[in-house]
């Protein structure tokens, strides 16, 4: 690994338009007043950094559930998966990962499997760290069927300043653990619903790395 790669990360294509807008505004700010222009430079660099898309090394041992997002574990509780996914209405353990505007926002598959459902639902824009965000905020839900037939749900939830959920996959797609499936712009949250009887291995406040940090381990069914 080169030292440069430690600091300069590739940018996801979704960010190009936004970085171009920030850069154009920065040019105008320099024409108005130099100090404003330098503020624009800082914001442009931040925008590039926000849309960074670093490579991740996913654990290869079978049966692991990894974090779908960078951020902090904000909630661990029992909850029913979103009704629009058509899963069983029994409560499952839900692990919520809150992403601040400084986290990488590319979302990755928590497990390998087939996408059996993708369901978008419009909603409000409460702070994504709040419990009610899972129920009331704009969201995009995915159901993933693993090879053993069990299902995992992962839900992209818009936050206070997030106004765009992006999902790259459709029902029928088969993805490996750690593969990219979407992103959310500017602050948000990911919920993972674990299969029945599976307990999380993480704690509240723990820092998560998408595609790398292990959330839980599945026992053989």
Residue with tokens 């400084």: 102
Q: At what angle do helices 16-32 and 34-50 cross, to 10 degrees?
A: 170
Query: Of the candidates 152, 160, 118, 117, which has an alpha carbon nearest to the alpha carbon of residue 136?
Result: 160
Q: Which position among 78, 129, 188, 221 bears the catalytic label?
A: 188
Q: What is the distance of C-alpha 37 from the center of its chain?
A: 32
Question: Could you give the CA distance from residue 23 to residue 11 in angstroms, rounded to a whole number?
Answer: 15
Q: At 150, phi and psi to the nearest 5?
A: -75, 155
Q: What is the 3-state secondary structure (H, E, C) of 52-67?
A: ECCCCCCCCCCCEEEC
Beta strand 214-217 pairing with 165-167:
unpaired
Quote the DSSP letter at residue 85: G
Q: CB atoms < 10 A from the CB of 66, how many?
A: 23
Question: Could you give the CA distance from residue 138 to residue 136 in angstroms, rounded to a whole number?
Answer: 7
Catalytic residue list contains 188: yes
Residues labelled catalytic? 188
């Amino acid at each position: 690994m080169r030292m440069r790669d430690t600091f300069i990360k590739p940018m996801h294509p979704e960010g190009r338009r936004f970085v171009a807008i920030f850069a154009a505004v920065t040019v105008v700010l320099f024409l108005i007043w130099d100090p404003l222009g330098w503020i624009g430079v800082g914001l442009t660099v931040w925008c590039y950094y926000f849309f960074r898309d670093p490579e991740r090394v996913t654990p290869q041992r079978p049966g692991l559930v990894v974090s779908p997002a960078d951020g902090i574990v904000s909630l661990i509780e029992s909850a029913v998966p979103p009704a629009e996914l058509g899963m069983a209405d029994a409560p499952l353990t839900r692990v919520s990962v809150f992403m601040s505007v400084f986290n990488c926002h590319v979302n990755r598959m928590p497990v390998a499997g087939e996408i059996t459902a993708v369901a978008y639902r419009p909603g409000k824009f409460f702070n994504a760290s709040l419990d009610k965000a899972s129920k009331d905020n704009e969201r995009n839900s995915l159901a993933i069927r693993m090879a053993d037939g069990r299902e995992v749900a992962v839900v992209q939830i818009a936050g206070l300043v997030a106004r765009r959920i992006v999902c790259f996959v459709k029902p029928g797609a088969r993805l490996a653990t750690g593969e990219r499936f979407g992103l959310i712009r500017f602050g948000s949250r990911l919920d993972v619903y674990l299969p029945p009887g599976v307990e999380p291995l993480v704690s509240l406040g723990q820092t998560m790395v998408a595609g790398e940090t292990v959330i839980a381990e599945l026992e053989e069914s």
